[in-house]
Structure 1
């Protein structure tokens, strides 16, 4: 099995562009065998931190985070991609793209300025005509005194600056013999947690993901304003339907639609998974939530995915470098944490389940690892295979 690998380029990482991962033997149906990077499919110095596939064509789309653009690439060979059309401007620090099931458009989410942008796709999959959706409003108020995040310390993947300073001081005190045992929190990528806005306690819109729902609806997460925004897709772009407010300072990051009709959302800052659902009138509500007990105060949650049976969820946790295992209960309306397992790598930015294997992109370890899943409990075991991979941030199965 092969995967496209999104990554950070040398300005903040080490990758040249979009890579290709071989998981398992070339002729094996699963991904449980040895891992190896095959090639760099295309150079992308703008940092393709998130990639998504066209539903029918051999085309993938990259959020070039540090260029603020979305670029389409068509497949030209087993291991090669080539640009399809020109890059399309989206917004500051575009960090996610999602392609509509009918391939008529894609949605780009911009962490830097909070934009959600609809971008049309032509018959060949070429993007154009960006249209910015209405901006979010902070339900908790916009002034620092009213709207400051209660933790005031973690924004989009960073740990508190004081923790980084403490790590450096402790490493210096431990000396050469024991300094390597201190966690490298001071090597966490610099993000908005170090900005003047965060230092002042200001809240800023941070769009992070779009999720296509049944019935022509879309959900987007706004990590900065603690919102899940529900939209209706139309020819003129996105029309706001409803904003669902999550607890202040929780930081909704990524979510997934479940076959039961529920939307599960993992919160980056508070490390919880919330369950959302519409009532009979179509109004959306938070109906339950499950904290990822055992995580540290300085942890930040990352990706959320499900197993092939949609019975178990996996939430990655950066800092303590673990993955939370949650079972789906009832008719999907509640979740139960069953384990918090070690990933065996540093800064698990993204992960996917493929059959009986959990693949994890260790961003700061510059590697991808695979862990076996217990067939009865779904709990990951110890790392089975690993391979070097520069600054991996996204694993996308090839068709």
Structure 2
């Protein structure tokens, strides 16, 4: 099986030279369980830290066009496949924003959304019939719900008082599981002296966009602790709602679940939160949990992925270099930690699940490793295969 590899080049302190190719077994294998091999570069470019495929259309075959977030250059570049393992630029790069770190393409291939970590921009770009991006339009800026103008009332996310919810969850969980409930009532007890000064210095940091069913688009802002929901207006994005997560949590990446829930992993607090739509279509924060008791001070969560059947979620944790396994319970509204295991790499920046195999990119150890998932409890086992790969930051399965 083949994967395109995004990575950091010298302009971001990395050792990659562009977009690379990873083989898991033979190139035409349907599974990713075979030996891993870094097969070299398929396109030369500067720090393509995130890759996203064109979904395919009447004029573009699925996967023949790939978009790269050129993080240091603050641009999005499209690449067209010219052979089994070669790409050439498709059109000129398009300006996005400072430290553009993510690209998501609409299911119909009409436009893409770029997220910029450095300046918080969310940018819509039109795609022509060939998949070439153009006409960037910056979406309205996020509003910090914890900023100096937010008021003195307790901030509620989706009409939930997080402090009260934490107390109720801890009481319901009992003494044995109380430590798994996030301590969102601690700030209430300690008071908020000085919070205004700290909040005024918080920067907006957009990090991911996800296309949800029904034409809705969700984006994260880990600087302002919000998830925003949008509709496409044809020439730009129209915000319809903003949901606040706990202050300082840092929502980074999301996974939409077939149950209709949206799971959000937080970079700073190493937690997972559950969002759900109400009958009127508005989204609410309905629950959350830590990634596990083994996370350490200074850890930062990275990617979030789901198992093939949606029963388990996997979050990468940089610092302690672990992978958190969480089980989806109920009708999708509950998520509980199962295990925290060694990721087998240094700085697990990104991972993907292919059937019963989890592949993880170790940005700082310059390698990709594969781990087998236990079919009984969903937990990744020991490293099955590994290969050297230069500063990998993104794994994209080749269609």
* TM tier relative to shorter chain: 0.7 to 0.9
> What does 1:1-399 align with in structure 2 at a 5 Å threshold?
1-11=1-11, 12-45=13-46, 47-56=47-56, 57=61, 58-142=64-148, 202-293=201-292, 294-399=294-399
Q: Secondary structure at the match of 1:381?
A: strand
Tell me how far 1:200 sits from its aligned partner.
10
Q: Secondary structure at the match of 2:380?
A: coil
Contact 1:302/1:315 (CA < 8 Å) preserved in 2? yes
CA distance in 1 between partners of 2:67 and 2:128 (Å)? 13
Contact 1:249/1:269 (CA < 8 Å) preserved in 2? yes
RMSD of the TM alignment (CA)? 1.5
Tell me how far 1:292 sits from its aligned partner.
1.2
Tell me how far 1:26 sits from its aligned partner.
3.4
Q: Under a length normalisation based on structure 2, what TM-score does the superposition of the two structures give?
A: 0.84
Tell me how far 1:348 sits from its aligned partner.
0.1
Tell me how far 1:214 sits from its aligned partner.
1.4
Contact 2:147/2:200 (CA < 8 Å) preserved in 1? no
Q: Secondary structure at the match of 1:215?
A: helix
C-alpha distance 361-287 of structure 1, shift in aligned 2 (>3 A): same
C-alpha distance 199-333 of structure 1, shift in aligned 2 (>3 A): closer
Q: Deviations over 1:247-267 (max 9, x none)?
A: 000000000111100100000
Contact 1:39/1:79 (CA < 8 Å) preserved in 2? no
Q: Deviations over 1:185-226 (max 9, x none)?
A: xxxxxxxxxxxxx99982000000001111111100000000
Consecutive aligned runs of 4 or more in structure 1 exceeding 6 Å deviation:
198-201
Structure 1 alignment gaps of length 5 or more = 147-197
Contact 1:350/1:361 (CA < 8 Å) preserved in 2? yes
Q: Under a length normalisation based on structure 1, what TM-score does the superposition of the two structures give?
A: 0.84
Tell me how far 1:25 sits from its aligned partner.
2.8
Structure 2 alignment gaps of length 5 or more = 153-196
C-alpha distance 142-66 of structure 1, shift in aligned 2 (>3 A): farther
Deviates more, 1:64-73 or 1:7-16: 7-16
Q: Secondary structure at the match of 1:129?
A: strand
CA distance in 2 between partners of 1:219 and 1:253 (Å)? 12
Tell me how far 1:375 sits from its aligned partner.
1.4
Tell me how far 1:79 sits from its aligned partner.
1.0
